[in-house]
Amino acid sequence: MLLLLLSLVAAALYLVLQHYRAKMRPLVEKAEKIPGPQTQPLFGNALKFGTSTKQFFDYMMWLTGTHGPIARVWVGPVLAVLLADPKYIEIILGSNKIIDKAILYKFGEPWLGKGMLTNSGLTWKRHRKIIMPAFHVKILDKFVHIFNANSAILLDRLAKHVGGPGFDVYPYMNLVTLDVICESAMGVKINAQLDSSSDYVNSVQILGDAMFRRAFMPWLHLDSIFALSSLGRMQKKCLTVLHGMTKKVIKSRKEQILNSETGEQETDLHDIGAKQKYAFLDLMIQAVRDGATLTDQELQEEVDTIMLAGHDTTTSALSFSCWCLAENPDVQEKVVSELREIFGDSNRDATLRDLQEMKYLEQVIKETLRLFPSVPVFGRFVTEDLPMGDYVLPAGCNVGFNPYMLHRNPEYFPEPEKFDPDRFLPENCLGRHPYCYIPFSAGPRNCLGLKFAMLEMKAILSALLRRYRLLQSNPPHQLDLTVVLVLESLTGVVLRLDSRGSQPVSS
């Protein structure tokens, strides 16, 4: 009887496996024609990803370096194709149809829900249309005072390092950008720079790491198993803190704005000349007041998305910008000369117009993002067969984009390892493939916060350089790159500070 039962179970498993293989055959046959490493049964190439973020990053770079600008890899039964050629990337990023995110983005949904980063389809389009006016440059003018105030706190915190040994600038940038995005997104001052041990600050820093690690641990992909893991329990605790804060702020601001009979009602989201200083949340609530359809849950998801997208990415870019400036003192002095032309001997805060005039500093930031793209790998999902040169990306394939390797293509950026901001002079950009440089993605799903991020980075870096000189560490620091949602260095981003002998920039 037992033998018969085992035989029936074995037969059932065999039939299921055969059905699965038949279903997967078209995907596998098309994938086999794409260059890529050998696979192992069941695991594919998953074991090669290693168990650390460093091993994952190195493997992704090895994959492109070894197999070329279109390379396939299997994570168990999941097919992914990594692209690092602009002609391939344009086919997908330039499409209005291929806008679904790769399936690994689903691990961000416990925090972000169906916000702009994870959503697609008609809901994504509707939300983007509602939110886009909040990123108009004249609305962004209202946030410059937030950049300046938090930059002043940063400068005071860095003063203890003047004339001292090398130190890691990354934690400082992490906290200042968290202060900026909390105040800009929710209108709430969390004072992360002054109290870095708060539950909210710790939860933000822990959760991003937990999300990324889960994505590349196939045994934690099932929600039921993940919930029982230490990583799952930690995520749940962090989500309680973060969602609790967002819900509380939404309730408070919604009551103030929707119930107010004066003040706010005089300002429309599309009234670009408005004088009031609002957070992004306020602007979305005003859109609801004016007829837009956004539930409280959707408001929370979009605010949480802005929090994530506007924090770690800017932290990474600012930290590596500081490192590049310290490593290239001639470039740093050109930036300082530009700042002197704008500010003279004044210690006044930067205005929007000042930030817009920082053309060379913008080139520096762009060149930093070429060498150190904040998001070195991101992805889409293909729902139907897609011809791509000599290959076909099969329906059901996840597509990854590799800006880190793309930005180092000598065809578009000669001497690619050289730090040269003049690559981004207007005349030097003419004729360059529009998809060879994608630090903020590109096409219909490009980053809405691009202008906000650039203004924020200019404000912080200009304040920093007006007071301090950034110096190479002694001995010279060696970066050890990895990716934890964004590009980081396992050895930190170490540099030294010296005073420029000027009076402090006022807050």
Per-residue pLDDT of the chain (507 residues; tens, 9 = 90+): 555 455 545 444 444 444 444 556 778 888 899 999 998 887 888 888 877 889 989 999 999 999 999 999 998 888 999 999 999 999 999 999 898 888 878 888 888 888 888 888 888 888 888 888 888 888 899 999 999 999 999 999 999 999 999 999 999 999 999 999 999 999 889 999 998 888 888 888 788 778 877 876 777 888 899 999 999 999 999 999 999 999 999 988 888 887 764 444 444 444 433 334 568 899 898 888 888 888 899 999 999 999 888 999 999 999 999 999 999 999 999 999 999 999 999 999 999 999 999 999 999 999 999 999 999 999 999 999 999 989 999 999 999 999 999 999 999 999 999 999 999 999 999 999 999 999 999 999 999 899 999 999 999 999 999 999 999 999 999 999 999 889 999 999 999 999 997 443 443
Residues 345 and 506: their CA atoms lie apart, in Å, by: 13
331 burial class (0-12, 13-18, 19+ CB within 10 angstroms)? buried
Strand 378-382 relative to strand 481-484, pairing? unpaired
Three-state DSSP class for residue 418: coil
Query: For residue 24, what pLDDT is reported?
Result: 67
- Look up tokens 């969602």; give the residue: 243
Nearest to 317 by CA among 455, 420, 137: 455
153-to-148, 188, 465 alpha-carbon distances in Å = 9, 16, 14
What one-letter code names the amino acid at 275?
A: K
Give the DSSP H or E segment for 17.
helix 2-32
Query: For residue 277, what pLDDT is reported?
Result: 55
What one-letter code names the amino acid at 135?
A: F
Query: For residue 487, what pLDDT is reported?
Result: 96
Query: For residue 47, what pLDDT is reported?
Result: 83
Residues 43 and 220: their CA atoms lie apart, in Å, by: 14
First-to-last C-alpha distance (Å) of the chain: 83
Query: For residue 3, what pLDDT is reported?
Result: 55
The DSSP annotation for 427-460 comes to HHHTT--TTS--BTB-GGG--TTHHHHHHHHHHH
CA angle, residues 361, 138, 375, in degrees to nearest 5: 50
Residues 378 and 329: their CA atoms lie apart, in Å, by: 32
Counts of helices then strands in the chain (DSSP H, E): 20, 11
Extract the tokens encoding 260.
């107010």
**Residues that constitute the known binding site for heme:** 447
44 bridge partner residues: 40, 75
What one-letter code names the amino acid at 129?
A: K
142-to-103, 249, 275, 361 alpha-carbon distances in Å = 36, 20, 8, 21
SS3 string, 230-274, reads HHHHHHHHHHHHHHHHHHHHHHHHHHHHHHCCCCHHHCCCCCCCC
Please tell me the number of Cα atoms within 13 Å of 12 on its side-chain side: 6
- Residues 169 and 323 sit within 8 Å (Cβ to Cβ): yes
Please tell me the number of Cα atoms within 13 Å of 116 on its side-chain side: 25
Extract the tokens encoding 183.
């105040």
Extract the tokens encoding 25.
């055959």
Residues 206 and 192: their CA atoms lie apart, in Å, by: 14
- Residues 192 and 198 sit within 8 Å (Cβ to Cβ): yes
Q: For each of the domains in the chain, give its residue range(s) and CATH number, in order of start.
A: 30-261+274-499 (1.10.630.10)
Residues 289 and 260: their CA atoms lie apart, in Å, by: 11
Residues 245 and 207: their CA atoms lie apart, in Å, by: 15
Three-state DSSP class for residue 393: strand
Strand 167-168 relative to strand 494-499, pairing? antiparallel
